[in-house]
Amino acid sequence: MKSYKHILFDLDGTLTDPAEGITKCIAYALESKGIHTADLNSLKPLIGPPLKDSFIHTFGFGESEAIACVEKYRERFSAIGLYENILFDRIPELLTLLKTKGYSIYLATSKPEIFAHKILQHFEINTYFDFAGGSALDDSRPTKTSVIQYVMEKAKLTNPQECLMIGDRKHDLIGARETAMDAVGVLYGYGSQAELEQESPTYLIQTVPDLIEFFN
């Protein structure tokens, strides 16, 4: 492994398993458009990518319809869905190890930053992060690349070669590539091996224990 100084984490599907909250909130938003979801599992592929894009590409909504659905989604998510979420086993151990070894830790998530902070606090892992960045409620950071660039700017990370992005979907790997940093694709989240391999991550890791071993 190369010598890195800064580790950037995705949130959904990388640190936490948010399936229950996200799928229920998407279903809630779709109901407002007269679309009933019989099986919440069918919505799991939408975990990770920017939500507005998912409403446009998966359901064929126009821009304004998709924005309205995102607002409806947030209505339930901010009150309930936020906490229908599970921290993956051994994540605190991983974060403790990274801190012990002197890494700086950052969050780079497509989830709105205000929600991301609440989730980190809920699971009591917020103190591990030097900075936690997310998307903006006004859609001014619509892609994973723009979120990573924002985190780098805020944290004054000037050398991407010292940074490593860790995530479970292709958007994480694309964002890393577009900002010239290496990436770890993790297979315990919501991206398939085929999806991740297609983006040629620097490393591909199966489980959280494997991630701990990787840094040990």
Class of the 6-17+86-215 domain?
alpha beta
Biggest distance spanned by C-alpha atoms of the chain: 52
DSSP single-letter state for residue 78: T
Q: Which helix (H) or strand (E) element contains residue 28?
A: helix 19-31
Dist. CA 35–CA 27, nearest whole Å: 8
The DSSP letter of residue 79 is T
Per-position pLDDT tens, the chain of length 216: 889 999 999 999 999 999 999 999 999 999 999 999 999 999 999 998 889 999 999 999 999 999 999 999 999 999 999 999 999 999 999 999 999 999 999 999 999 999 999 999 999 999 999 999 999 999 899 999 999 999 999 999 999 999 999 999 999 999 999 999 999 999 999 999 999 999 999 999 999 999 999 999
Neighbours of 10 (CB within 10 A): 29
In contact, 184 and 210? CB cutoff 8 Å: no
Which of the residues 10, 12, 168, 172 is marked catalytic?
A: 10
| pLDDT tens per residue across span 107-160 | 999 999 999 999 999 999 999 999 999 999 998 999 999 999 999 999 999 999
113 with 132: CB under 8 angstroms? yes
19-83 under CATH 3.30.390.50, yes or no: no
Does the annotation count 10 as an active-site position? yes
| The pLDDT value given to residue 139 | 87
Residue pair 71/26 in contact (Cβ under 8 Å)? The answer is no
- Domain spans in the chain, listed from the N-terminal domain onward: 6-17+86-215, 19-83
